[in-house]
Amino acid sequence: MYIEFDLPPVSDHDTANSDYLLNYLLSGSPSQNYQINALVSTYMRLVDVAAIEYNLGSSSLRQFWSTGTSFGMDKMNRSISHFENCVSAMHRAIKAYRQLRNHKTRDSLSVYLTNPKPIFISDQVADQIRKVRDAIHHLEEKVVKGDFEEGLPIAIKPFGEETSHPSQPDKIIKTIDRLKIGPHELKFSDVAKWLNEMLNIAVKIAQYDRLTGRECSDNAA
C-alpha cells in the first residue's frame, strides 16, 4: 500500500502574536472596554494554539506512517490528541471572534473588524467544527460512563479513501485527507484554509491602532 497525504501546511503563526504584544507594550490595550480586551487576548491565544496543534498533529501523523509498524502507535496517539486540541481551540476561537466582531458596544475595534467577514464564522463552517468538537467531548463522557456500543469509535481519527494504483493494479493508494469521528468529518484542506484565515485576522488585530481606529500607519504605508 502506498500512503499519500492531502495535508496542507498553515502559515507561520508567530508573527501575529509578537506584533500584537509589541503593539500592546507601545500603545496599551486595544480598547478601553475590558471585555473587548479579554476577547482579543482569548482569540489571539486560541488561534496560536490551534495552529501549533495542527502542525504538531500533521508531523506526528507523517511520522507514524513513515515507520510502517505498530511500534509507531505512540505517534498516532499524539497526532490524534494534537488534532483534538486543534479542533477544540478553533471552536473556542470562533465563539470569541464572533462576540468580538459583533460586540454590542460597537467598539472601534469591532467596527474595524466588520469587513471583510471571514468564512470561518459562517454558520456552515462554525457548525461543522462545533459538531466534531462536541462529538469528541461527548464520546469521552460515554466511554467513562460505559454508555457506548462495541465497535463504535473511541476517538477522532485521520482517515482517507483507498484507490487502485494507476500503473500497479495489485497496489492500493491510501490518501489521508480528513479527520473522522462517527458521521462527522473535517477535511484537512478545509481546516488549513480556515486556520490560515484565522491567522490573517490575528495579523489584522495585531496591526490595529487604537488611537486612529485603523491599521497602524507603519503597516498601512
Domain membership of residue 71 (yes or no) is yes
Domain membership of residue 121 (yes or no) is yes
The strand pairing partners of 172, in sequence order, are 164
Domain membership of residue 172 (yes or no) is yes
B/e letters for 51-69, b = 16+ CB within 10 Å, e = fewer, are: bbbbbbbbebbeebbeeee
Confidence of residue 135 (pLDDT cuts 50, 70, 90): very high
Q: What is the pLDDT of residues 174-214, one digit of tens each?
A: 899 999 998 999 999 999 999 999 999 999 998 887 756 66
Q: How many domains does the chain have?
A: 1
- Does the predicted TM-score (pTM) go above 0.85? yes
The strand pairing partners of 162, in sequence order, are 174
Domain membership of residue 221 (yes or no) is no
For residues 37-49, average pLDDT = 95
Question: Strand 2-5 and strand 172-181: pairing?
Answer: parallel
Query: Contact at 8 Å (CB) between 120 and 162?
Result: no
Question: Which is more confidently placed, 4 or 70?
Answer: 4
3-state secondary structure of 67: helix
Burial grade of 193 (CB within 10 A; 0-12, 13-18, 19 or more): middle
Range of the domain at 90: 2-216
Q: What is the pLDDT of residues 6-28, one digit of tens each?
A: 899 998 667 777 777 777 777 77
CB-CB neighbours of 159 under 10 Å: 16
In the block, cell 459583533 appears at 102
Closest CA to 206 of 87, 45, 54: 45
